[in-house]
Structures are given as C-alpha cells and as structure tokens.
Amino acid sequence: MPTTEPRPDAPFFIVLNAGSGSSETELRRSTIETVLAAAGRSCQLELVGDPAQLQNIARSMAGRAVASGGILVAAGGDGTINTVAHEAVLAGCTFGVLPQGTFNYFGRTHGIPEDLTEAVYSLLRAHVRAVQVGMINDKVFLVNASVGMYPKLLEEREHDKRHYGRSRLVAIFSAIKIMLRPARHLRVTLEQDGKQRRLRTTTLFVGNNRLQLEQVGMGGLTGAVEEGQLVAIAPRPMGKLGLFGLLVRAALGRLGEADVEAFAFKRLTVSTPAVYGRKRLKVATDGEIEKMAMPLHFRVLEGRLHLMVQGPSRSQARSAADSALDDPA
C-alpha cells in the first residue's frame, strides 16, 4: 500500500460510468479532460457503457496505475465508486473520486465537491488519507451493505429510476411501495466475539459512513465508525404500519427513536437456519446487488484505501491568493 503522496506529475487513470445520455456523458468527459489538460496532467480515461464490464475495466486500469505510479479515479455514483475502490484496494494503488451519483455519501463524507469541475480541480490539489473500508465475504463496501428488505428496495428504486429519472423523490416513492407489500422476516444467527444470538428482522443493514448514519438519525453510533468499527442496524419484527413509520422516522432523521437493534463491531458472521436451505443470499453493497454464499462474514479493514481527499476549491484558492496579496506579511 502506498504510504506517501503520489509524485506531482502522477498520471490519472479514470473510469467514467456512462450513466445518463450520451450528451451528458460527453460533457463529463470533456470537462475532466479539459481541466486536467489545462493543468498539464496526463490522463487516460475509459468510458464504461456496459455495467457488466465495469469490474474488468476497473481492474485493468488499476494495474496500469500501479505500473506507472499513477492514481486510479472513479467517476460515477456510489456503486461505481465501490467497484473501482475494490480494485484499488486489491492492487494497492492511490484512489481518487469524482462523485456523480444521486446521494454521493462517500464523496460528501470526505469533502469532495459534487460539481464535476470543482471535483477535478480539487483532485489536482488533494493529498492522501488512509480510510477504512468494510468487507462482506470478499467484497469491499464503502458506505453500507445489507440483506433482507433493503436490497429489494434498491431493486425497486433502480426500476423506478429507469422510468421516472434519478432523484431523491423517486427513491422515497420506491421505498413506500416496498413498505406496502407483504413483508417477509429474515431469521439469522449472529456470531460476534465467539458468542451467538438469533435475530428476526426485515433487514440487516451494516453502515460504514458517518454522514448516512447521521442523516437517518443514528448519530450516536458515528463515533464507532470513526474509531474503526462498523455499525449494524436491524428493525425488530413489525407490520406494514410499523415499517411505514420506520421509513418516515429515517426520512426525518429520527431512526434512533424507532424500535431497532443497533450495535458496533469489527467482525460479525451472519448465517440463516439450515431449514431455509439457503446457500446464497441477495446482498446489496453500496447500491449494487448480487447473491453471496452463506454464511456472510462482515469485517472492517482500517486504513486500507488510500484516498485522495479534497484540496482547496477553486474559489478558496483564489480567496487565499487574494488575502496573501492584501497582507504580504
């Protein structure tokens, strides 16, 4: 793992998710290349049009970044950032982010601008900070991982986004639809520090992001994330009305007042009863859904992602320069 700052002329290897329409994608590509060219920095950009190719492209770009002492950069939403970050951790290369998603929890947590031009400008002046990531089996997650109802909610949200566009309002609409459907409770066994206990819940949510925990009203556990732990949240069994109330509390930032079980941990094993016959379970990691082999092993990896964090924004840099001219002493 790199422990020093990349050299001043380190090339950027950028993985850009095509995402929306071609005109918007070309504008993003042009913006990135124009800002970096004006700064005299080398840039190799790969556009990902097929989501199925994202991991292979990210792995290839990570290898090229390692070979040339460069910086691997993800440009997209939290799902894209997750996939590229996974390859950065495996390859041991420095990692940068240009957030382009709906919520951008990871980028916002680390002070990275959501405006693309400002994000590229800040990347040029960023420095390396070692940050923690979560792992579920052999998969990295930066913001959260979950099983149960939450992956279903994400699938519904993606379906609605294709029809109605990407917005927070669409996300809330999708959540309400899921809450109104018959809820199946998940029976799991948790093993932590050699002790086992059984839990019945609609969803098991594991967070690794201070901002998201604060936003839903679980601010009392953000200190655990800052101290190198992950946070598990599991609503107790409830009906449709209770689930709807849970959604409202989360939207209002008051989830901590709801009937949920929450605790911090460094390692956690999750299994389901043998009578379920489940060998694989649907899991969501940073918004991306896949089936994983049981049992699920959660753990935290401290300082394993070497992230380029925000330097001064363009307006801040100009303000600092003006102040220096006004006060040369």
| Residue ranges of domains in the chain, CATH in brackets | 12-126+310-323 (3.40.50.10330), 141-149+182-300 (2.60.200.40)
Query: Which of 81, 106, 102 has the alpha carbon at shortest distance from 72?
Result: 81
The better pLDDT of the pair 280, 155 is held by 280
Output the pLDDT for position 186.
Answer: 87
Output the pLDDT for position 255.
Answer: 86
pTM: 0.84
Q: Which residue has the tokens 């040369």?
A: 328
* 182 CB burial (10 A radius; 0-12, 13-18, 19+): exposed
Whether the Cβ atoms of residue 273 and residue 189 lie closer than 8 Å to each other: yes
Output the pLDDT for position 315.
Answer: 46
Which parts of the chain fold into alpha helices (H)? 22-38, 54-68, 78-91, 105-109, 116-124, 149-164, 168-179, 210-216, 222-226, 240-251, 314-326
pLDDT digits (tens, 9 = 90+) for 7-27: 999 999 999 998 655 778 899
The answer to which of 57-71, 112-126, 252-266 has the lowest mean pLDDT is 252-266
